Amino acid sequence: MSYILLRHRDIPNIKDIEVYAKHGGFESLKKVVTSMQSQQVVDEVKASGLRGRGGAGFPTGVKWSFLPNNIWPHYVVCNADESEPGTFKDREIMENNPFQFLEGVAIACYGVGAAEGYVYLRGEFKQLQVFLDECILQMHAAGLLGDNLFGSSYSLKIKTHLGAGAYICGEETALLESIEGKRGQPRVRPPFPAVVGLYGKPTVINNVETLTNLPQIIEKGAGWYKGLGTDKSAGVKIFSLSGNINNPGNYELPLGTTFRELIFNYGGGIPNGHKLRAIMPAGASSSIIRIDDSTFDKVMDTKMDYENVQSVGSLLGSASVIIIDDTHSMDWVIDKTVHFFKHESCGKCTPCRDGNYWMLHIVERIHAGHGTNADLLLLKNVANQVNGKCLCALGDFSTMAVTSALERFPEDFAAICPDASAGVHSTLKA
């Protein structure tokens, strides 16, 4: 099958505007602007079954339809913050297939009646910002952005905004704060951005990969896209594969591809003769899936889509699949994840700010070999006090690896906490 998103792998020079145009580029934008009503675009995207690729999997067309028709202007903001550990797909798209991405932003703008679209890039993508700004200028010069597109009354501008290093700015309301020139701290909801978003106006926020699907959906039709993937998880997804794997990288595959296919067919298996021990399918925010002889086949045959990953105790999220082999212990893994979340907590709400501070202290103590059974219980307790009690999902994310590691890998902790007997598992569950 030819690529839908990573089309530079089929057409190497697609980042050249003329090459992109020659391969059907901008035809979809022209089609929507010259022959479709906004509502028809929304209906088409709804019918395609496209769901958000930023993590939550919310149906894209449905999200667009929440914007009120009596408050203007509307904005489209593209989330190109890409900071979840293990995620590196949006960067590959934007660096190599920039015009399909920008055409997607433009189609979304038309669909919700926005005259301005913003692309929010993480600060580390500074060079990418320069590159995208050049691409945007080329589109202006070719009459694909600017006033009265294709002779219609529709005018559109796209702007890039550079962050400055903060994972939390991937959270959509923190991202809006950041564009507005503030610290990137999440807003209390309601009101939701669909009603009160950027500069107080109705705003749609979508991930880079989500939007890059749009030109092909318009070109080939909702039915075609719906036919890919599974019933409830339509289309293709880019899986970012990292960690202890022979061929790390991005893999564009239909949703519903199994873990076995991704890890062993495409990823080439685990290097150096080691065994697969754990998978984090949604980056550092994942519950850790345990692999051993008794669970191997069940997990390997699980379809990676928005429904089925739950059946093995985790979530698909942004599909940043981190592979961990049997040379690593889970106290080390959660030492890494808690370090990350402690560093990235924005500090606005107490459970997350203080909870991560304490989780880090306890995990460091355990990892250094100075922990006791009481520390394990305390760690579990603190994680429970954070989960579900925070202003945004980062707080919940920070507990996923911790709680699942303690529950599913008790032997790793028993091994380094002297008084945690073989009964650690049941003690923890009590």
Ligand X SMILES: Cc1cc2nc3c(=O)[nH]c(=O)nc-3n(C[C@H](O)[C@H](O)[C@H](O)COP(=O)(O)O)c2cc1C
Q: Which of ligand SF4, another protein, ligand X, none lies near 241, with the C-beta cut-off 5 to 8 A by kind?
A: another protein
**Run of H or E residues at 385:** helix 373-386
Q: Which of ligand X, ligand SF4, another protein, none lies near 390, with the C-beta cut-off 5 to 8 A by kind?
A: ligand SF4
Closest-by-Cβ residue to ligand SF4 is: 352
Q: Which of ligand SF4, another protein, ligand X, none lies near 345, with the C-beta cut-off 5 to 8 A by kind?
A: ligand SF4
- Asked if 321 and 86 count as a contact pair (C-beta separation under 8 A), the reply is yes
Residue among 166, 153, 155 nearest 120 (CA)? 166
Q: Which of ligand X, another protein, ligand SF4, none lies near 210, with the C-beta cut-off 5 to 8 A by kind?
A: ligand X
Q: How far is the CB of 16 from ligand X (least distance, A)?
A: 27
Residues 39-58 that bind ligand X (CB under 6 A): 52-56, 58
Using the rule CB under 6 A, is 348 a contact of ligand X?
no
- Collect all residues with Cβ–Cβ distance below 8 Å to 149 and sequence separation of at least 6: 29, 33, 143, 155, 156
* Residue whose CB is less far from ligand X, 83 or 337: 83
Using the rule CB under 8 A, is 127 a contact of another protein?
yes
Residues 283-342 that bind another protein (CB under 8 A): 284, 320, 322-324, 328, 333, 336-337, 340
Pull the structure tokens for residue 208: 């880079």
Using the rule CB under 8 A, is 86 a contact of another protein?
yes
- Asked if 279 and 269 count as a contact pair (C-beta separation under 8 A), the reply is no
Q: Which stretch binds ligand X (CB under 6 A): 222-230, 296-304, 391-399, 418-426?
A: 391-399
Q: How far is the CB of 83 from ligand SF4 (least distance, A)?
A: 12
Residue among 254, 306, 247, 252 nearest 281 (CA)? 306
Q: Which stretch binds another protein (CB under 8 A): 7-15, 210-218, 240-248, 297-305?
A: 240-248
CA distances (Å), origin 29, targets 64, 105, 243, 409 = 17, 10, 39, 51
Round to whole Å and give the CA distance between 400 and 310.
Answer: 13
**Run of H or E residues at 98:** helix 98-112
Using the rule CB under 8 A, is 275 a contact of another protein?
no
Peptide bond into 190 cis (omega under 30): yes
Judged by CB under 6 A, which of 62, 393, 415, 416 binds ligand X? 393
Residues that bind ligand SF4 (CB under 6 A): 168, 186, 345-349, 352-353, 390-392, 394-395
Q: Which of ligand SF4, ligand X, another protein, none lies near 353, with the C-beta cut-off 5 to 8 A by kind?
A: ligand SF4
Identity at 315, one-letter amino acid code: L
Round to whole Å and give the CA distance between 17 and 359.
Answer: 49
Q: How many CB atoms sit inside 10 A of residue 385's CB? A: 15
- Asked if 178 and 169 count as a contact pair (C-beta separation under 8 A), the reply is yes
Judged by CB under 8 A, which of 124, 261, 354, 396 binds another protein? 124
Using the rule CB under 6 A, is 92 a contact of ligand X?
no
Q: How many CB atoms sit inside 10 A of residue 407's CB? A: 16
Q: How far is the CB of 186 from ligand SF4 (least distance, A)?
A: 4
**Run of H or E residues at 384:** helix 373-386
List contacts with another protein (CB under 8 A).
82-88, 90-91, 122-127, 159, 161-167, 178-184, 199, 240-244, 248-250, 280, 284, 320, 322-324, 328, 333, 336-337, 340, 343-344, 346
